[in-house]
Amino acid sequence: MIGHKILIIDDDPDLLQLASVIFKGAGAQVITAHDGLDGISKFFTHRPDLVILDAIMPGSNGFDVCERIRQVSDEPLIMLTALNQEQDMLKGLAAGADDFLTKPFNPRILLARAKTVLRRSGHSNGQPGNGASDQSHGDSASFRYHDGYLSIDIERHEVLIHGKRIKLTPLEFRLLVFLARNGGKLLSFEKILSNVWGNGYQGSIEHVHVYISHLRKKVEPDPRDPCYILTIHGIGYIFEKKELGYRA
For residue 246, is it within any domain?
no
Q: How much is the mean pLDDT over the chain?
A: 87
- Amino acid present at 85: Q
Candidate from 20-34, 202-216, 225-239 with smallest mean pLDDT: 202-216
> Which residues, at least 6 apart from 136, have a Cβ–Cβ distance to it below 8 Å?
195
Q: What percent of the chain has pLDDT over 70?
A: 91
What CATH number is associated with residue 20? 3.40.50.2300
- Whether residues 142 and 165 fall in one domain: yes
Cα separation, 126 vs 23, whole angstroms: 17
Query: Residue 53: what are its φ and ψ, rounded to 5°?
Result: -135, 125
Q: Nearest-CA neighbor of 100 among 181, 171, 31, 47?
A: 171
Last residue of a domain, one of 91, 120, 149: 120
The SS3 assignment for 106 reads: coil
pLDDT surpasses 90 at 215: yes
The whole-number average pLDDT for the span 153-165 is 93
For residue 37, is it within any domain?
yes
Q: Where in the sequence is the domain holding 13, given as residue range(s)?
A: 5-120
Q: What percent of the chain has pLDDT over 90?
A: 59
Question: With bands split at pLDDT 50, 70 and 90, how would you rate the model's confidence at 202?
Answer: confident
The SS3 assignment for 46 reads: helix
The whole-number average pLDDT for the span 24-36 is 94
The whole-number average pLDDT for the span 74-87 is 82
Number of domains observed in the structure of the chain: 2
pLDDT surpasses 90 at 21: yes
Stronger pLDDT, 167 or 136, i.e. the higher one: 167
What is the per-residue pLDDT across 91-140, written as a single tens digit (0 to 9) for each? 888 888 988 888 888 888 899 999 988 987 775 543 433 333 333 344 44
Candidate from 7-11, 76-80, 126-130, 208-212 with smallest mean pLDDT: 126-130
Cα separation, 154 vs 171, whole angstroms: 13
- Whether residues 94 and 27 fall in one domain: yes
What is the per-residue pLDDT across 235-246, written as a single tens digit (0 to 9) for each? 999 999 998 877
- Whether residues 84 and 159 fall in one domain: no
What is the per-residue pLDDT across 38-66, written as a single tens digit (0 to 9) for each? 999 999 999 999 999 999 887 778 999 99
